[in-house]
Amino acid sequence: MGLVRICEAILRGQNTVLSVSTLIHDYYGIDDVYLSLPCVIGREGVQKFMRLPLDEKEVDGLQSSARILKETLNSLGL
């Protein structure tokens, strides 16, 4: 059902906020890793990231998760 909703948002240009995995650039200091975040989805796909208000502990956790993902992918040669 989620994929249908994403396709509808793109095909109909709905500019709807949905959580999708996308390549992250400059999001709380995170770059070049795919994360699932709330994004505005429209005719061109991901239009923008929704920048969630996170406290310092949450930012640290998010950055740690992104770092672990990158390290794991690098160790697999991906």
Tokens for 44, please give them. Answer: 């061109």
What pLDDT score was predicted for residue 78? 76
SS3 38: strand
Domains in the chain: how many in total?
A: 1
Confidence (pTM): 0.79
SS3 31: coil
Residue 77: which pLDDT band, with cuts at 50, 70 and 90? confident
- Angle at alpha carbon of residue 53, lines to 49 and 55, rounded to 5°: 130
Average pLDDT, the chain: 94
Q: Which domain holds residue 24?
A: 2-75
Phi, psi of 20 (to 5 degrees): -140, 155
Residue 23 has pLDDT above 90, yes or no: yes
Domain with 46 in it: what CATH number? Answer: 3.90.110.10
